[in-house]
Structure 1
Amino acid sequence: MDLLALADFNLVARHGGFGRAARAAGRPKATLSRRVAELEASLDLRLFERGTRALKLTEEGRALYERTGALLTEIDETAAAIAAGGDRPRGRLRISAPLLFSQIAMGKLAAEFAIKYPEVRLEITTEDRAVDMVEEGYDLVIRVNPEPDESLVGRIFLRDRLVAVASPAVTRPTDNEVVPAVVRGAGDQGPVWDAMTSAGRLRFTVDPILRLSSMIMVRDAVRVGAGAACLPISLVSHDLAAGTLVHWGDVDGPEIALWTLYPSRRLLSARVSAFLQHLKEAFPKGTPDELAAYIGA
């Protein structure tokens, strides 16, 4: 398989069209169209449905994109590191990270990175909003389930999941029973939680008696016995093991995925490459258990 043609296919798939991909990469639209057509011919598969006004991945095209995108990112990151000539990373590195991940892990991660690369001046800001990397001068951002952005590329480095937990002092409800709950913010989690338990599916009707602005605060309130809460398993796994919290079930909902994002894979700086490798070494499998162990170590 032609890796260059595969890279062009991923470029078009990521941007959702030949025109937008050509503008983002500074490449001729006709060249991208020809390379994708050649890839389709070599695979004997149609990868895109070409309408008059829209371009849509076929089922085979989506499968190819999902399975090769991360691999191509790895190749580009490796090539960038080699192209840097092995020079030790140096200079300023600005990173934006979400609140919870910063509170539980970034202090330790940043300190380990600073010790490993003393010539890098690492600056980390904590915020959950979608920052403008170029306008605000960030080299790398970490985001939870980010919206697609054709100007950014990146990869998932950690996954987590939500669980319903409560203090042992709080009585486990029956199906559709009203549960006093501690929730994050004004809009997180709806009035009903569906959870999978060892006995089957259970639905909780939630009465939010307490609203707090951070997951750490929610966990602390639940420990005291204020009510139940939906929290990432990595944040409460030690409490569950110690018996200070009880697992009521795995909550239905989208997977929690933490992404590293940066403006371009091309000419990736040695500083960014080093931090990406630092994350990979800290969380080689990217599982909730790894994050929980890192927090507790």
Structure 2
Amino acid sequence: MDLLALADFVSVARHGGFGRAARATGRPKATLSRRVAELEASLAIRLFERGARRLALTEEGRMLHQRAGALLAEIDETAAAITSGGRTPRGRLKISAPLLFSQTAMGRLVAGFALRYPEVRLEVTTEDRPVDMIEEGYDLVIRVNPPDDESLIGRVFLRDGLVVVASPALPRPAEGARVPVVLRGAAGQAGQWRMITADGPLSLAIDPVLSLSSMTMVRDAARMGVGAARLPTSLVAGDIAAGNLVLWGEVEGPETRLWALYPSRRLLSARVSAFLDYLKEAFPEGRSEELAAYIAKGQD
């Protein structure tokens, strides 16, 4: 396969048209059109649907764009590494991270990484929604308990638990008691919380009195004594130690895992590898106590 024709196809697909790609790359529009047509002929498939005013990728075109874009980026990075005498991290690193991790740790993490690797240009967005790494151009995505995705690979770099906490002013409940609670997200209907305490399992009937959009707001409301809350261990460890919150019990269920995900490809870029190593350095054992200590240090 002609790599130059493949690169021209990727440029046209990325920019959404021959004219835009020509302006972005400095290559003649006619040349791009001819090279893409030759690529389609060699593959015996149509890569674009050509309309009067619109150019759209076919299903086959989308598949080739996803694979070829990553492949060409790897070739460029490998060539740069060879000519520079090593795999020095450089270039843009685009990361998506969830809201709570961004609020508590991400700012310091990426600042430290930027100081260590000044040739890397970091771009970090905060969002909890699923993202399409290829289409949206992300190099690395951090997510909590993500669904299986065969197009991605990754590693768990942190584990956390959920606990039920409340202000010391809120009396500890007995089995089956109805208690006011603060929830993250839509309040929904009243239900039950089950937890493990020092005395054994405990079930509580909950009465949602506040519904908030972030864990940090839920924690702040719980501190004020509005109601009990279910929160990550790492987020409230400092408050429990200081007596601002009281631990009622640990929530039953699987642990919370933070994953670092990246497109499944044979060659991992130097900048992504360096950031993965930096996460491992920050949280060597991946325990909630390490994240709690990291959060506490940032608040000093």
TM over 0.5: yes
The answer to whether structure 1 residue 215 and structure 2 residue 215 are counterparts is yes
1:178-197 aligned at under 5 Å gives the runs 178-186=178-186, 191-197=191-197
Post-superposition shift, 1:264? Answer: 1.7
Residues 208 and 280 from structure 1, CA distance in 2 versus in 1: closer, same or farther, beyond 3 angstroms? Answer: same
Q: Deviations over 1:152-183 (max 9, x none)?
A: 00110000000000000001110010010000
Contact 1:162 1:232 in 2 (8 A): yes
Aligned residue in 2 for 1:123: 123
Runs of 4+ in 1 over 4 A off after TM superposition: 187-190
The 1:255/1:140 distance shift into structure 2, 3 A limit, reads same
* 1:117-156 → structure 2 map (5 Å cutoff): 117-156=117-156
In the other structure, the counterpart of 1:199 is 199
1:264 — aligned with what?
Answer: 264
Question: Using the alignment, how far apart are the partners of 1:189 and 1:160 within structure 2?
Answer: 27
Measured in 1, the distance between the counterparts of 2:189 and 2:92 equals 38
Give 5+ residue unaligned stretches, structure 1.
Answer: 1-79
Deviation at 1:188, TM superposition (A): 8.4
Contact 2:158 2:283 in 1 (8 A): yes
1:91-102 alignment to 2 at 5 Å? Answer: 91-102=91-102
Where does residue 56 of structure 1 map in the other structure?
A: none
Aligned to 2:36: none
The answer (yes or no) to whether the contact 1:164–1:251 under 8 Å persists in 2 is: yes
Alpha-carbon distance between aligned partners in 2 of 1:190 and 1:249, rounded to the nearest angstrom:
19
CA distance 1:241–1:252, change in 2 (3 Å): same
Aligned to 1:249: 249
- Counterpart in the other structure of 1:109: 109
State whether residues 139 and 262 of structure 1, in contact with CA within 8 Å, keep that contact through their aligned partners in structure 2. Answer: yes
Question: How many Å separate the matches in 1 of 2:120 and 2:260?
Answer: 19
> Is contact 2:179-2:206 (8 Å) kept?
yes
In the aligned structure 1, how far is the partner of 2:292 from the partner of 2:108? 13
Unaligned ranges ≥5, structure 2: 1-77
Shift of 1:254: 2.3
Q: Percent identity?
A: 68
How far residue 94 of structure 1 moved from its aligned partner, in angstroms, is: 0.1
Q: State the Cα RMSD in Å.
A: 1.7
User: How big is each residue's C-alpha offset from its partner over 1:115-152, in whole Å with a ceiling of 9 and x where there is no partner?
Assistant: 00011000000000110000000000000000000000
CA shift in 2, pair 1:95/1:103, >3 Å: same
**Matched AA of 2:268:** L
Q: Tell me, in whole angstroms, the C-alpha distance in 1 between the residues paired with 2:180 and 2:111.
A: 39
How many Å separate the matches in 2 of 1:172 and 1:145?
31
Indicate conservation of the 8 Å contact 1:183/1:189, yes or no: no
Contact 2:187-2:208 within 8 A present in 1 as well = no
Match of residue 165 from structure 1: 165
Corresponding residue number in structure 2 for 1:282: 282
Q: 1:87: how far off?
A: 2.7
Aligned CA distance change for structure 1 residues 289 and 90 (closer, same or farther; 3 Å):
same
Superposition TM-score, scaled by structure 1 size: 0.70
AA aligned to 1:195 is: M
The letter for the 2-side match of 1:124 is V
Considering only CA atoms, is the larger Rg found in Structure 1 or Structure 2?
2
CA offset at residue 255 of structure 1?
Answer: 1.2
Tell me the equivalent position of 1:68.
none
CA contact (8 A) 2:187 2:211 kept: no
Question: What is the CA–CA distance in structure 1 between the aligned matches of 2:169 and 2:265, rounded to whole Å?
Answer: 51
